[in-house]
Structure 1
Amino acid sequence: MSDQLHFTRQTLLAASDLIQEAGTSAGFDLMVQRLELERWVPSGSDLSVSKKRVVFNKALLEHAERVFWAREGQMTLGEAVVREAVRLMSSPARYAEQSQLERCLARDGFTVSWDAGDCGQGNPPWLRRSLPRNVDLAAGDDQVHRHLKDFGFSRSCGHLDQAIDAHTRGDWAAANAQIRTFLESLILEIATRIAAAYLPGNPSLNNGFQALAKCGFLSESRSEWNQDGKGMLNGLLKMLHSDGSHKGLSDEDHSTLRLHLALVTARTLLSRLANNE
């Protein structure tokens, strides 16, 4: 499907959840062998699958980027585990864990298809990209979290984690609220870090934008933000404040769209901050 696919921690753990719920003990042991994890994960009937999975998850997260030859070809361990979970899916879903995994995959830029379409080989379901190859949302999410921790933006990081958690649960209203609050918090934390001289006490979001424009971090000439409210960030925050989903989009689709836009925007702003410092 790609040189290598990358998935977020939440997606890998959601795949593991579905594997435990939908699989069998013997099937779990066979999967461990297919994934070449025998050196870390015990097999046999002495331990329950739930106890084996504690060890399995640790090995998975530590070695998710290890490349090896799996059933479908050469890929990372993380991708192989996701594919193992996708093979256990059904239509309609029999387990809540399947819906949670599908939401995590959507957040990473993937979908599960039951129609042949362009895939056409083997039997459904198929794991397919929902976004172009060069849009690596999982890597973007990792980079955003890395920058937030490096800069000490704990408030923004907390809002992002709450947004992702709510999105995984399917609580779209809570996810949308936290996505909006995340970006607002990020703007103010960046402004406080590099443009504090332009900020009043108890600054508003608009104060944060104005300060970042005055110090040259945001470009008004490129319409990144404008006093007249017609810049890109003005429009994005206005959309994030809207109620309900867009016409033609489900609540899930709209919430996923909001999260994708927020992650791409945050990644750009944080990378710019890192490069400027």
Structure 2
Amino acid sequence: MRDIPFTRPTVVAANEFLGFALKTHTQINKIVLRLGLEDEVTAGSTLGIEKKVDLLGRLVLARADEVIETSEGKATLVEAFVRQVIEHADERSQEWRQDALLRGLARDGYVVVWTDGRQPNSLRSALPGEIDLPAANDEVHLLLKHFKFTTSLGHLDQAVEAHTRGDWAAANGQIRTFLEGLLEEIAFYIEPSKAKTMGSSENRRAMLASTDIGFLGVKRNEWSPDGKSFIHGLFKMLHSDGSHPGLSTEDHCTFRLHIGLVTARMLLRRLREGKV
């Protein structure tokens, strides 16, 4: 099975934008043909454009990891679909469905390469392929459910939802709360009785770095008593500074979500494998 480069919310946003952007049956029929789905979504169908696009989206989600041939080589069906959709986006548009799609792509680690119209828009990865944010997101969700860390799972979902609607202040706050909650739940998972006596989240994080537990590595500079460590710096960076207009706010919020997911994956993998 090939890795799917886009999360479900991004694919749904792409489908909703496509339903808005396409105005003729010819346009949707061309996309269907390029994706090799003409047997399921026939050109002579009596379905309207909106219902045809809805059917297309459901097929793409159901067969997301299916590999097809495209003009650019082999790709998963979902990847080919999103790349087809992005060709209909307009750099100058501020239409909310397009904005939702672009935010989804940013969460997944992709940016649009805009063109002058003579060539179609395209996508490029904004991050090294090894990070694989959609896979990291899936793995974090699976591990949170595995350990029954329902509180931090709820905060993560709220962070993604806030990012989806462009509420940067809410997303920033939930990302920080998610990581704080995750370390809390890890502390109670490893040493529940001792964690109860710690009195504060800061003390429980220090407990995780103690020599008898060693979940957070002092030698790796993940934690230090003087507050000059990766965890301390991460929480300072994640501290919400409110919502201000402008692309930099969106970029910073997306970066916070990315680093939150990657850090959570590292911690949860360590807990699963019993490594320190």
TM-score (norm: length of structure 2): 0.88
Q: Which residue of 1 aligns with 2:29?
A: 29
Q: Which residue of 1 aligns with 2:181?
A: 185
- Confirm or deny that 1:173 pairs with 2:165: no
Alignment of 1:155-170 (within 5 A): 155-170=151-166
8 Å Cα contact 1:167/1:175 also seen in 2 = yes
Alignment of 1:48-67 (within 5 A): 48-67=48-67
8 Å Cα contact 1:137/1:260 also seen in 2 = yes
**1:23-52 Cα distance to aligned partner (Å, 9 max, x none):** 135122332232123454465453233333
Q: Distance in 1 between matches of 2:247 and 2:100?
A: 19
Q: Distance in 2 between matches of 1:242 and 1:51?
A: 41
- Amino acid corresponding to residue 166 of structure 2 in structure 1: G
8 Å Cα contact 2:156/2:174 also seen in 1 = yes
Alignment of 1:155-234 (within 5 A): 155-200=151-196, 203-214=199-210, 215-234=213-232
Q: Distance in 2 between matches of 1:274 and 1:25?
A: 51
Q: Distance in 2 between matches of 1:107 and 1:154?
A: 22
Q: Distance in 1 between matches of 2:19 and 2:198?
A: 49
Q: Which residue of 2 aligns with 1:17?
A: 16
User: Which of residues 120, 129, 134 is equivalent to 2:125?
Assistant: 129
Q: Distance in 1 between matches of 2:239 and 2:222?
A: 18
Q: Distance in 1 between matches of 2:199 and 2:183?
A: 11
- Amino acid corresponding to residue 261 of structure 1 in structure 2: I
- Confirm or deny that 1:87 pairs with 2:83: no
- Confirm or deny that 1:274 pairs with 2:272: yes
**1:68-127 Cα distance to aligned partner (Å, 9 max, x none):** 1023221111111110111001120163211111111111111112259xxxxx714221
Match of 1:32, SS state, is helix
Q: Which residue of 2 aligns with 1:75?
A: 75
- Amino acid corresponding to residue 188 of structure 1 in structure 2: E
Q: Which residue of 2 aligns with 1:96?
A: 96
Q: Distance in 1 between matches of 2:4 and 2:85?
A: 15
Q: Which runs of 5+ in 2 are unaligned?
A: none
* CA deviation after TM superposition for structure 1 residue 8, in Å: 0.9
Q: Distance in 2 between matches of 1:210 and 1:40?
A: 57
Match of 2:196, SS state, is coil
Q: Distance in 1 between matches of 2:156 and 2:223?
A: 22
Q: Which residue of 2 aligns with 1:112?
A: 112
**1:198-238 Cα distance to aligned partner (Å, 9 max, x none):** 21258532132122223121111211112211110111011
Q: Distance in 2 between matches of 1:274 and 1:28?
A: 45
Q: Distance in 2 between matches of 1:162 and 1:276?
A: 29
TM-score (norm: length of structure 1): 0.88
8 Å Cα contact 1:159/1:181 also seen in 2 = yes
Q: Distance in 2 between matches of 1:34 and 1:79?
A: 12
8 Å Cα contact 2:18/2:85 also seen in 1 = yes
Q: Which runs of 5+ in 1 are unaligned?
A: 117-121
Q: Distance in 2 between matches of 1:275 and 1:63?
A: 32
The count of residues paired between Structure 1 and Structure 2 equals 269
- Comparing 157-166 with 43-52, greater Cα deviation is found at 43-52
- Confirm or deny that 1:138 pairs with 2:137: no
- Distance change in 2, residues 1:69/1:4 (3 Å): farther
Q: Which residue of 2 aligns with 1:119?
A: none
- Distance change in 2, residues 1:52/1:201 (3 Å): farther
Q: Distance in 1 between matches of 2:4 and 2:180?
A: 31
Percent pairwise identity: 47
Match of 2:127, SS state, is coil
**1:111-163 Cα distance to aligned partner (Å, 9 max, x none):** 112259xxxxx714221111122221111111111111121112111111111
What is the Cα-based RMSD across aligned positions, in Å?
A: 2.5
- Distance change in 2, residues 1:151/1:40 (3 Å): farther
Match of 2:68, SS state, is strand
